[in-house]
């Protein structure tokens, strides 16, 4: 059954950036501590706070108590020279009316740093006497900034990395977990729509959200639990021929710029397996992976993607010589193969080499995937990718050499399939 998921209809977008570790290349409070010989206490508190083991407000009060004895001008000068991610800073400075900074740090310390970014900066504030911080006056609640812009009719995109960003990210229309300086806190991964670990991939995603982009994105769905296979792990992590299946996929997608990996079950393990080989991937979360199927993952992966999206299941093995045809095909298509899987979905075709229907009992070929669909034609539903496509038929078919892995018998056949093309070399 098709399910309609309401999407934001707001026409204007605001990007709210956390500062430390998101725009800056290092956390500022540990930098202050290291520069003034107070690193042991501060670093321990900062690590525990980022991880979510100590509430931000409690930790921040303690850290300010330690660092408040320092001369605010010296601290401000120190932070004025902290290194920024240059591409992100340029994005902010060239779109200053669309961007704001939200930092829990004290404005008395970060005003010089913030002046390098030509956008509004919201921060905490303190009472200063004799050039020392004697008391905190206010601690910024980042979610209040999100709500303020939403009330003004904005679609809010929040980019953050630490536990103190969680409520703001939960409230935001689009939440991006940023792993540029350290792995994002587990708490924000549970509410994130996206996760990125590379400045180029973050910038690519920001541009895609801001304006529709031309070109082709590949959406690799790796969120499922692989229940029919019975190996107690998501299929992206199974080994075929001594190599993780996800690593096979990364090899064949080496030339794909906008590769989106949809994660759900064992998300952290899948993310790490991808990062072991490639950092510029955009990770997309399907948090409802147990209740939904590949059609949902494809929809989520296609949001804010390029004009055309290639739906590629994480358990699909395609002959390397056929991969470029799948990506470069001009327009929309449905991928199919000879009937090789144990529990296949079939396609029925006409004389014009179009797919006219899917079937569960018989057909001309096996629906193997992939499929290339215009982003604007992809709708939210909780079922399968082929259910997405049914309403778009007829569409041309592209016959490829492929093996889907749904059952243990399919798994054994996939091993033989890979061995067969290895022997061709």
Quick: pLDDT tens for 38-70: 888 777 887 777 677 888 788 888 888 888 899
- What topology does CATH give the domain 12-196? Rossmann fold (3.40.50)
The per-residue pLDDT for 1 is: 32
Cα–Cα distances in Å, from 129 out to 32, 114, 126, 183, 402? 19, 22, 10, 37, 71
Return d(Cα 318, Cα 330) in angstroms, integer: 19
The per-residue pLDDT for 2 is: 35
Quick: pLDDT tens for 276-323: 999 999 999 999 999 999 999 999 999 999 999 999 999 899 999 999
DSSP conformation class of 135 = E
Return d(Cα 254, Cα 373) in angstroms, integer: 21
Q: For the domain 213-422, what is the CATH superfamily, name and number?
A: Spore Coat Polysaccharide Biosynthesis Protein SpsA; Chain A (3.90.550.10)
- Residues of the chain scoring pLDDT < 50: 1-8
Helix axes 72-80, 107-114, angle to 10 degrees: 30
The per-residue pLDDT for 48 is: 79
Return d(Cα 53, Cα 366) in angstroms, integer: 50
Return d(Cα 202, Cα 110) in angstroms, integer: 24
Return d(Cα 344, Cα 342) in angstroms, integer: 6
What pairing do the DSSP bridges indicate for beta strands 395-399 and 333-337?
parallel
Return d(Cα 203, Cα 206) in angstroms, integer: 5
User: Whose CA is closest to 291, among 229, 230, 382, 193?
Assistant: 382
* Every domain of the chain and the residues it spans: 12-196, 213-422
Task: Please give, one letter per residue, the 3-state secondary structure of 294-310.
Answer: HHHHHHHHHCCCEEEEE
pTM of the model: 0.93
User: Whose CA is closest to 313, among 354, 364, 360, 370?
Assistant: 370
What pairing do the DSSP bridges indicate for beta strands 12-17 and 239-240?
unpaired
The per-residue pLDDT for 307 is: 98
Are 341 and 406 in contact, with CB atoms under 8 Å apart?
Answer: yes
Return d(Cα 184, Cα 110) in angstroms, integer: 22
Return d(Cα 199, Cα 202) in angstroms, integer: 5
């Amino acid at each position: 059954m098709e399910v309609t998921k309401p999407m934001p209809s707001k026409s204007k977008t605001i990007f709210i950036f956390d500062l430390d570790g998101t725009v800056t290349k290092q956390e500022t409070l540990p930098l202050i501590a290291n520069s003034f010989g107070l690193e042991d206490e501060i670093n321990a508190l900062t690590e525990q706070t980022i991880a979510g083991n100590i509430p931000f407000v409690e930790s921040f009060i303690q850290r300010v108590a330690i660092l408040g004895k320092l001369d605010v001008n010296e601290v401000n000068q120190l932070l004025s020279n902290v290194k920024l991610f240059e591409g992100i800073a340029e994005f902010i400075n060239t779109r200053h009316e669309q961007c704001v900074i939200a930092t829990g740090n004290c404005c008395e310390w970060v005003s010089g740093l913030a002046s390098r970014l030509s956008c509004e900066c919201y921060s905490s504030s303190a009472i200063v006497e004799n050039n020392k911080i004697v008391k905190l006056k206010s601690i910024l609640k980042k979610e209040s900034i999100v709500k303020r812009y939403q009330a003004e009719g904005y679609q809010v995109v929040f980019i953050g990395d630490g536990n103190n960003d969680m409520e703001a990210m939960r409230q935001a229309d689009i939440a991006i977990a940023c792993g540029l300086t350290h792995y994002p806190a587990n708490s924000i991964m549970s509410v994130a729509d996206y996760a990125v670990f590379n400045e180029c991939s973050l910038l690519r995603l920001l541009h895609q959200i801001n304006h529709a982009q031309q070109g082709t994105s590949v959406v690799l769905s790796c969120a499922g639990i692989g229940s029919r296979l019975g190996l107690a792990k998501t299929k992206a992590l199974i080994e075929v021929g001594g190599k993780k299946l996800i690593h096979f996929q990364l090899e064949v997608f080496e030339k794909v710029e906008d590769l989106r990996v949809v994660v759900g079950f064992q998300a952290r393990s899948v993310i790490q397996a991808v990062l072991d080989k490639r950092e510029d991937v955009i990770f997309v979360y399907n948090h409802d992976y147990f209740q939904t199927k590949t059609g949902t993952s494809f929809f989520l992966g296609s949001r804010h993607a390029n004009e055309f999206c290639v739906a590629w299941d994480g358990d699909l093995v395609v002959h390397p010589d056929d991969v470029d045809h799948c990506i470069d095909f001009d327009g929309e298509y449905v991928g199919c193969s000879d009937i090789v899987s144990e529990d296949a979905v079939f396609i029925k075709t006409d004389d014009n080499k179009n797919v006219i229907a899917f079937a569960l009992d018989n057909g001309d070929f096996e629906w193997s995937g992939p499929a290339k669909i215009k982003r604007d034609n992809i709708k939210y539903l909780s079922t399968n990718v082929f259910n997405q496509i049914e309403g778009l038929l007829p569409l041309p078919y592209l016959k490829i050499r492929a093996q889907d892995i749904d059952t243990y018998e399919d798994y054994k056949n996939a091993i033989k399939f890979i061995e067969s093309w290895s022997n061709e070399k």
